[in-house]
Amino acid sequence: MADNPKTLVSTDWLAQHLKDPDLRLLDASWYLPDAGRDPKAEYNQAHIPGARFFDIDEISDGRSDMPHMAPPAEKFMSRMRAMGVGDGHQVVVYDGAGLLSAARVWWLFRLMGQENVAVLDGGLPKWVAEGRPTEDMPPIPRDRHMTVRFQNQLVRDVTQVAQASKLKAPQIVDARAAARFRGDAPEPREGLRAGHIPGARNLPYTELLNDDKTLKSVAETKAAFEAAGIDLSHPVITTCGSGITAAILALALERMGHTDWSLYDGSWAEWGMFPTVPVATGDA
């Protein structure tokens, strides 16, 4: 795999750059409630040396009833300043599942106009499996200013997605498991209808991952999108359960050079709750 500090870097790359003064490493581990895992406790126990903990649920829009919606720019800036992450830094994000929530934080940085951010391919499990070091002490951050230029084109709301669903453009691709997409499996969040956004295509994010939770090659990724019925010459909106794994599809698109994408932040947590928007079931 080719390392790209704007999308995806390998554990080898990180090992070589771990002591770079301008590197900022973030542990963005997050799990669905039914996983029974506590990401902050796991971070306190062991993380890659120098990593700071990025709390996806806390660094979010506190005014919203939706889970972990993108925070206002001011909140993001102040949290990053306190964590010592700012202008001139190369950010690398990883998570404890291999690749689950790290891409969400990559997307947040991109949304805030930060380009020098990459996801660690294979995350903490691959790092640990290779016998590389971890530590249990958090780093001592020094304040660093971050300039934020909010990128509106990278995020979509329910109105824009409803319009896309009706007009069949941009294309909508859903990263949830096939059974949830079809409406056969119950949603992990209570009170949501089952099914998918009418006109959406299904590409479960797990189909983009190898057994060791690294992203498949660009060629394999491209083939997976095309097999799901996505025309890669046209714009794409990614969606999922609550805007976490949709970012894995966004990262995959960016990595293959398809830059005309956006993410539906509310995703199914919002759409499945709105009584006024239509829901489709079955395969398409």
User: Among the options 26, 102, 155, 240, which is catalytic?
Assistant: 240
- Other CB atoms within a 10 A radius of the CB of residue 207 amount to 17
Is 140 an annotated catalytic residue? no
- Other CB atoms within a 10 A radius of the CB of residue 143 amount to 11
Question: Which residues in 37-67 are b (16+ Cβ under 10 Å) and which e?
Answer: eebeebbeeebbebbbbbbbeebbeeeeeeb
Q: How many residues does the chain have?
A: 284
Are 203 and 284 contacting, i.e. CB atoms less than 8 angstroms apart?
Answer: no
CA–CA dist 143, 2 (Å, integer):
32
Looking at the DSSP bridge assignments, the partners of residue 236 are 171, 261
CA–CA dist 115, 146 (Å, integer):
12
The set of catalytic residues is 240
